[in-house]
Amino acid sequence: MRKGLLLIMLGGFMLNLSAQTWNKMQWFNEPENWSVNDGSLTMFVTPQTDYWRISHYGFTVDDAPFYYGEYGGEFEATVKITGDYKARFDQAGLMIRLDNENYIKAGIEFVDGKYNLSVVVTHHTSDWSVIRLDRPVEAIYIKAVRRLDAIEVFYSFDGEEYVMMRNAWMQDNHPVKVGVMGASPDGEGFEVKFEEFKVKHLPDARRLKWLEQNK
């Protein structure tokens, strides 16, 4: 009886911990419609919005919804993403942002009727890398790991086995905004759901190396 009660209490604590994670975050470009329920965040992505700077297209936009918390040091961030993508360039994913000229967004993007794993890295100007999927997917897991001056980005279809799709530079020893974003540059918006979002702090890699060398 006590064991069962303990499990129920632990389950309630973990659910509340997940909700607290969302509750401690804040909006940049808050959308009109969003909600947090049972540990998940659902939003209707604002139409005609995006994050991009200059290169290839010649314009700069910084107006899509981004829900974030601020973290220093090294960390691992993960999230499960499910979206009702409709128009070209509809996208949703993780974002790690230093400022309006330095950010990384990584997730899934709908392009010409196909699902793509997508990463945009911006340091004054943006670049874009994609992995085209051979079939539609119900959900995708994205993980970003900050180590030293690099962000490693991974994807998974089951939340267990992850494959790296990008390693990009990001200034180290500086707090960054970490959270979830959605954009609909060409479309009229769409609904997206974020689940299992968490950020786990990691011990500093330089310090671990120093300790190893100075035993």
CATH number of the structural domain spanning residue 97: 2.60.120.200
- Give the chain's domain count: 1
- For the whole prediction, is pTM greater than 0.85? yes
Comparing 1-15, 33-47, 136-150, which segment has the lowest mean pLDDT?
Answer: 1-15
| DSSP 8-state class, residue 56 | T
Domain membership of residue 152 as a residue range: 2-202
Q: Which residues of 14-46 are buried (b: 16+ CB within 10 A; e: fewer)?
A: eeeebbebbeebeebeebeebebeebbbebbbb
Poorest-pLDDT segment among 25-29, 79-83, 89-93, 201-205: 201-205
Q: Which residues contact 206 (CB under 8 A, 6 or more apart)?
A: 148
Whether residue 208 lies inside any domain: the answer is: no
Q: Is residue 91 part of a domain?
A: yes
* The pLDDT of residue 129 is above 90: yes
pLDDT in tens, 152-179: 999 999 999 999 999 999 999 999 999 9
Task: Classify residue 215: in a domain, yes or no.
Answer: no
Residue 210 lies in a domain: no
Residue 213: inside a domain, yes or no? no
Report yes or no on 146 lying in a domain.
yes
Instruction: Please list the helix, strand and coil fractions of the chain in percent, rounded to the nearest 5, in that order.
Output: 15, 55, 30
